[in-house]
Amino acid sequence: MSATPSTAFEIAAAVRAGSVRAIDVLEAHLGRIAARETDIHAFNLVTADEARAAATRIDDLVAAGRDPGPLAGVPIALKDNMCTRGVPTTCSSRILEGWKPPYDATVVSRLAAMGAVSVGKTNLDEFAMGSSTENSAFGVTLNPRDTSRVAGGSSGGSAAAVAAAFAPVSLGSDTGGSIRQPAALCGVVGVKPTYGTVSRYGLVAFASSLDQIGPFSADVRDSALILESISGHDPLDSTSIPQGPLDLVSVLDHDVKGMRIGRITDMPEGADPDVLGRLEAAFDALRAAGATIVDVELPSLKYGLTAYYLIAPAEASSNLARYDGVRYGRRVDAVDTNSMYMATRAAGFGDEVKRRIMLGTYALSAGYYDAYYGKALKVRRLISDDFARAYATADVLLTPTSPIPAFKVGEKADDPLSMYLCDIYTIPTNLAGHPAMSVPFGESRDGLPIGVQVMASTLGEQPMFKVASALERHMNSSGGRS
């Protein structure tokens, strides 16, 4: 084993065995951050001192003959919409700049209890609203593979942190593709689990019926390890499924012989030819590995984008009402209370957040509720029903993750609709509450990463990870060329 192991699995094993010190692992990663962070801007805050103290505690436990936990000494980066006690949590918004939560999110406390070491809070589109991390109040996160291009969003900082090897793993949140899309654009693994398998307690809400926390990693095994670690029932989250942690690592070496892989015949059009080519290569690889490719139809899938951009903004307009300069948020003083509310929100929120709040408020307003929000909920039901029929004949479904590889910074900044279309393949699983993940599967002709999305039915993480692992094995065996 190398002096500084690279994967979370290797790091934890080495630190627990005493062959590598957690502090040395941490310093290696902090060194990479120091060397490239200025060029990439993955972080809003690097918590170097706190991380060194945590790593030292882990080394002390090992020296005393005690086990620090299954994630001993593993550096992890946290999206800056997850509460960290005494550490600023800004959601990349001016309105929360400097706010220090009085408690940890459940995922944060679980990771710490298992020996993971947080290295900082990563940049995101403000309040997780965006697909490029260009909507952050604190600057754009750039793609480590090509710094002229975006890292995706909204969890762009978390994806970039893993792609740049600032941390072997990170956490993001996914409301309509905000883990999977940046994972695809940065060439890493990104997972959105079944809604309710990971606690949302301490996650600053965007759209509560859609948000879900999940991992980024450089390989499928590390994502399985982290998802196992953060999953399981949490009484603090009323939407948490009453079951134990997921069992994922144990299935990764299983083959896919006999599995049914669904090809969506009426999939929304518009994907780049290179992206479609890699999707076909994924079907070929799974067929060669013994799986059967079956055709399925999801006729309501094409309405997913429209339904999402009514449901998510409606929930956002409700969730963000608390940022008024009284309950939460930095206050801008004015002559009376209503003027103070207006001035606070005008100064504190960025353009995209304002756009979605106004859209959501309109959709919920008297006279329009049934016409817009009510119909969107019916479409959501239709999408779930279509998925149920598809999963009656297929174990998993494959689609592109993003219709295009990483685009140039500023290319879509003035065209919100074009930006929204980046999530056309990822949004439906959020509406249905199903798990999905993006797996790196080759490159475009320009050398940009392309991800394939593996989707499964509710609590179908095991077959999803089996297929993802098979795709990864194929790429590894082909040297990343096939």
178 is a catalytic site residue: yes
| CA dihedral over 62, 66, 69, 70, signed as positive or negative | positive
The C-alpha atoms of residue 470 and residue 482 are separated, in whole angstroms, by: 13
The structure tokens listed for 421 are 């279309």
Q: Which of 92, 131, 154, 438 is catalytic?
A: 154
209 is a catalytic site residue: no
79 is a catalytic site residue: yes
The C-alpha atoms of residue 262 and residue 264 are separated, in whole angstroms, by: 6
Cα distances (angstroms) measured from residue 181 to each of 122, 143, 175? 16, 12, 11
Residue listed under structure tokens 């995922």: 107
The packing angle between helices 22-40 and 48-63, to 10°, is 160
Radius of gyration of the chain measured on its C-alpha atoms:
21
Cα distances (angstroms) measured from residue 171 to each of 56, 186, 294, 474? 23, 15, 33, 26
Q: In residues, how long is the chain? A: 482
Q: Which of 92, 178, 300, 438 is catalytic?
A: 178
Which sequence positions are flagged as catalytic? 79, 154, 178
